[in-house]
Chain A
């Protein structure tokens, strides 16, 4: 890269060498740069986990919040200032486990946020327990007899709920990931980009090799506008794993329903003079 990326931060990173998170971080930096954003215009919100450390490793505003609660906090920030470019970066345990309820309703609400889920199919921060996306049979210290709960299919759920942009990538495919993030950010509404990311310390099954042998890019004639096709693709896992845009369908966003884009952000609007409501008659409504 010739041009200096002003999103790149030089600080220390508390990730294991070889962690897939490094690739995702670079892809986020490059996507924001390619989109022509400036650091103060961007807010990255996260929850808790290895992936959730990302806001501290990039030159933007950051809200490193509570486990599972990144999405509603991001929603509040976006609602108060819709001119902020809001991205959420967090892991599979954070978004699909602890924050599963918020994941579902964030899609329904369709505010303009880009959700990047680092999916390593394991809990890294707490040193290797099964996550909602762990494959059946994976043995861990807390699942000594192997995982017996079926994996959470986040893409299928997002498609079912008509998320406007549903994509999957693999952290090693940095260029490709960058493009998907750019497209997700450009798409008005709630975009989901799930990035398969090996955990080099605790997931001995889903390794770089394992993913590399399986992922393939969706190409024409695959049509992401075809919901049934997309739904079918979301169920493809095992021998072959599709990456790319699985589903894309424009829909009115939360902000479309609230005000026109030229409107002043909520945080800059002034209080309007108003009389105390006499409630005598309103009591009966």
Chain B
């Protein structure tokens, strides 16, 4: 068989090295110059009970999603891998450990569940690992060696990757791991001489691997972030970890606060005193921050809140993905409380988008909620991010010398944005408050003042439109089936559209990193050109569909996927086909 794209899943339990298998494999593929996407799934428990899996998709062309199904399952733990057999594609394969035959009851044996359509390859994984290291360590490298031969991938790249990764741990570990890799490679070569060929074109350049969380942290640091205050929470902690490691090198600080409320409070305090600051959290933390986000709206102090969405309300599903926080991001505040909501769809948008978020927050003196999700945040992918460094352009509107003489912190302006000085500067002093206030910043509860100030706070969102990026329209412009989506679902939508196109049905997609405010003119125009509109998203309610319905008066086909896994592109394709069938009736 010849392949230009393959999906492999390592499946096992704690200690099997499942997650590091994914990373070693991804690292080698990126070194070769392939496009890679890796998605890990694990339980919320640190050790013991939990099963974990790492799925790696690699291709010679750009990848938008994890796709549907897997070509090869590597069953590091037999019992835990049984259920994953269902995900194997037609003509797909499974590798299993033959080290301890007969030691498990049949119902727990992976071999016993392999159906005739699946090619099974037994390898004494544990035995070979012991041969290399004297322990079970290195099982994953035995498997990687076997896979390398199985798909005719260049072993040199893997060996280089092993060296790079384990160098810190000493030469002996490097040698042991390389031996384990070679044993796996040679065993497979000897027992299953195959002619599978993964097509690698010449002249490929190594690619950068990055996760969404890392891209957000890096993007923020590159545009002037100097102060990060946070509180650990899955799946957003990685952002704080990077900030903690990188900011001190750049004379900045990362502070772990006592709770999420303290984190967002410190962020507001820092912006108030003139510095770009940020926090990152997930749903439960965002709920706690709601009141202070409202303060940010009211007092017109910028704030950047990254929310990496996980599943469910309350503590929910800490290690599973869902897009359920759109409503709280948009509406989670008392009173008339406008805030900017952005949602990146891939790591590149995480990097560039967070920089746009900082500029908007600073210029318009507003909170920006940046909605990533667990799948986007944790998946590793190869990217072509253009480093955008030294972007510390200040977007703050300064008062004129005339305005400074009689400084009004909340001066009424055409665009709603008042000139701002940083407290501590000589020339003027001012107080801010979460109470309604007059142009001076002093509390004021008069009806006309409240109306005037509310209108001012909303007017900023109208002015902002001029600074917003265009909405992207992707696909066949002439198509009458239109899709709208947000966040990491976009990748699955794009791939679903491609599957449908190959089956003869074209469609188009409108997407924007801006959820609110949005380029409404472009969305109106797009929807007007569609006969069928499909809005897929990973939640039960259809939160984005609700927004689009109320904003544009459309009646879309809503696809609600309360999900613990990334959305299946096939499912999207199927919806497009159904919509086409309805149109042709």
Binding site for B on A (CB under 8 A): 11, 38-41, 43, 45, 55-56, 59-66, 69, 71-81, 83-84, 101-102, 104-105, 258-259, 263, 266-267, 269-281, 283-284
Which residues between 424 and 438 of chain B lie within 8 Å of chain A, taking CB atoms? 424-435
A101 contacts across to B, CB distance below 8 A: 258-259, 262
How close is A39's CB to chain B, nearest CB, in angstroms?
A: 5
Q: Are B269 and A280 in contact (CB under 8 A)?
A: no
B251 contacts across to A, CB distance below 8 A: 259, 263, 266, 269, 272
Nearest B residue to A283 via CB reads B23
With A66-B434, A272-B250 as contacts: A280 and B272 at CB distance below 8 Å: no
B428 contacts across to A, CB distance below 8 A: 40
Q: Are B224 and A55 in contact (CB under 8 A)?
A: no
How close is B367's CB to chain A, nearest CB, in angstroms?
A: 14
With A81-B424, A83-B424, A258-B253 as contacts: A274 and B389 at CB distance below 8 Å: yes
Q: Does B509 contact A (CB under 8 A)?
A: no
A39 contacts across to B, CB distance below 8 A: 429
Q: Are A266 and B253 in contact (CB under 8 A)?
A: yes
Q: Which 8 A-B pairs rank lowest in CB-CB distance, beginning with the nearest?
A: A76-B269, A62-B431, A76-B266, A72-B265, A267-B274, A80-B273, A61-B423, A72-B262
Q: Which of A56, A66, A81, A280 contacts B422 (CB 8 A)?
A: A81
Q: Which of A38, A66, A78, A271 contacts B392 (CB 8 A)?
A: A271
How close is B222's CB to chain A, nearest CB, in angstroms?
A: 7
B430-461: contact bitstring with A at CB < 8 Å (1 yes, 0 no)? Answer: 11111100000111000000000000000000
Q: Are A269 and B226 in contact (CB under 8 A)?
A: yes
Distance between Cα atoms of A238 and B278 in the complex (Å): 46
Nearest A residue to B426 via CB reads A40
Q: Are A75 and B211 in contact (CB under 8 A)?
A: no
Q: Does B387 contact A (CB under 8 A)?
A: yes
Q: Which of B31, B263, B266 contacts A79 (CB 8 A)?
A: B266
Distance between Cα atoms of A269 and B30 in the complex (Å): 36
Nearest B residue to A45 via CB reads B269
How close is A103's CB to chain B, nearest CB, in angstroms?
A: 10
B210 contacts across to A, CB distance below 8 A: 276, 279
Q: Are B208 and A276 in contact (CB under 8 A)?
A: yes
A79 contacts across to B, CB distance below 8 A: 227, 253, 255, 266, 269-270, 273
B267 contacts across to A, CB distance below 8 A: 76
Q: Are A271 and B214 in contact (CB under 8 A)?
A: no
With A63-B272, A81-B424, A280-B30 as contacts: A73 and B442 at CB distance below 8 Å: no
Q: Are A66 and B292 in contact (CB under 8 A)?
A: yes
B11-43: contact bitstring with A at CB < 8 Å (1 yes, 0 no)? Answer: 000000000100100010011000000000000
Nearest A residue to B259 via CB reads A101
With A62-B432, A64-B433, A76-B266 as contacts: A56 and B423 at CB distance below 8 Å: no
B291 contacts across to A, CB distance below 8 A: 66
With A72-B257, A271-B222 as contacts: A280 and B265 at CB distance below 8 Å: no
B517 contacts across to A, CB distance below 8 A: none
B169-183: contact bitstring with A at CB < 8 Å (1 yes, 0 no)? Answer: 000000000000000
A61 contacts across to B, CB distance below 8 A: 423-424, 429-431
With A76-B227, A283-B380 as contacts: A271 and B391 at CB distance below 8 Å: yes
Q: Are B269 and A80 in contact (CB under 8 A)?
A: yes
Q: Are B209 and A72 in contact (CB under 8 A)?
A: no
B226 contacts across to A, CB distance below 8 A: 80, 266-267, 269
The 15 listed contacts between A and B (C-beta, < 8 Å) are A40-B425, A63-B431, A71-B262, A72-B263, A75-B265, A77-B273, A81-B275, A84-B273, A104-B258, A269-B252, A271-B389, A271-B392, A273-B389, A278-B208, A284-B20
Q: Specify which of A273, A280, A284 lies most central, judged by the most chain B CB atoms within 10 Å of its CB.
A: A280
Q: Does B390 contact A (CB under 8 A)?
A: yes
Q: Are A266 and B442 in contact (CB under 8 A)?
A: no
How close is A86's CB to chain B, nearest CB, in angstroms?
A: 9
How close is A67's CB to chain B, nearest CB, in angstroms?
A: 8
Q: Are B390 and A276 in contact (CB under 8 A)?
A: no
With A79-B227, A102-B258, A271-B391 as contacts: A279 and B209 at CB distance below 8 Å: yes
Q: Which of B214, B273, B434 contacts A65 (CB 8 A)?
A: B434
Q: Are B423 and A84 in contact (CB under 8 A)?
A: yes
Q: Does B66 contact A (CB under 8 A)?
A: no
Q: Are A72 and B261 in contact (CB under 8 A)?
A: yes
Distance between Cα atoms of A83 and B423 in the complex (Å): 11
B269 contacts across to A, CB distance below 8 A: 45, 63, 72-80
Nearest B residue to A98 via CB reads B261
Q: Are B424 and A41 in contact (CB under 8 A)?
A: yes
Q: Does B583 contact A (CB under 8 A)?
A: no
A102 contacts across to B, CB distance below 8 A: 258, 261-262, 265
B287-301: contact bitstring with A at CB < 8 Å (1 yes, 0 no)? Answer: 000011001000000
Q: Are A274 and B265 in contact (CB under 8 A)?
A: no
Nearest A residue to B388 via CB reads A276
Distance between Cα atoms of A239 and B390 in the complex (Å): 64
How close is A102's CB to chain B, nearest CB, in angstroms?
A: 6
Q: Are A105 and B275 in contact (CB under 8 A)?
A: no
Q: Which of A59, A66, A266, A283 contacts B227 (CB 8 A)?
A: A266
A275 contacts across to B, CB distance below 8 A: 387, 389
How close is B238's CB to chain A, nearest CB, in angstroms?
A: 10
Nearest B residue to A268 via CB reads B274
Q: Are B258 and A56 in contact (CB under 8 A)?
A: no
A273 contacts across to B, CB distance below 8 A: 389-390
